[in-house]
Amino acid sequence: MFLSRKAKFWAAALVIGIQTVRSSAFAQAQGAAPTQGGPAQTFSFFLPLLAVFGIFYFLIIRPQQKNAKTHQLMLKNIEKGNQVVTSGGILGKVVGVADNILTLEISDNVKIKVERSGIQTVKAEGKGE
């Protein structure tokens, strides 16, 4: 089975978390005397949780924030003459720009108004159709 890098990290984090819980539960089931854990034991208990959070941050949260920033920058830089694709799949040329409303010409003498946030991609100027 071929797993992506992200899936392998999640699997490893899950295994670490399960092993931590199983080992402490097994020790209690065997009647082992509870130890008076100090800071080292507390840290070793939270280490898998920190690892899972780190994996979450670097594989999911951080790339999502980066994509959101680039999309916001793209939306901010839309100007007249750009070819755009809306989130609904409509292709058009920007002929009017207001604060949050763009006027798109999707055919000869056919214009629609779209919110700026409804734009999915901006194509290179002069291309399209």
Tell me which of 48 and 71 has the higher pLDDT. 71
Best CATH choice for the domain 78-123 from the list 3.30.499, 3.40.30, 2.30.30, 1.10.3470: 2.30.30
DSSP structural state of residue 60: I
Give me the phi and psi of 89, to 5 degrees please: 95, 10
Dihedral pair phi/psi, residue 30, rounded to 5°: -80, -5
| Whole-number pLDDT of residue 129 | 46
Distance CA 93, CA 128 (A): 9
What's residue 64's pLDDT?
93
Between the CA of residue 104 and those of 22, 28, 30, 112, what are the distances in Å? Answer: 60, 68, 72, 5
Q: Confidence band (pLDDT; 50, 70, 90) for 39?
A: low
To which residue do tokens 């000869």 refer? 108
24 — pLDDT class (breaks 50, 70, 90):
low
Q: What is the DSSP string of 3-16?
A: --HHHHHHHHHHHH
Instruction: Summarize pLDDT for 49-95 with one digit per residue, the tens.
Output: 888 899 989 898 999 999 999 999 999 999 999 999 999 999 999 99
**119-123/83-86 β-pairing:** antiparallel
73-77, 90-94, 115-119, 124-128 — which is least confidently predicted? Answer: 124-128
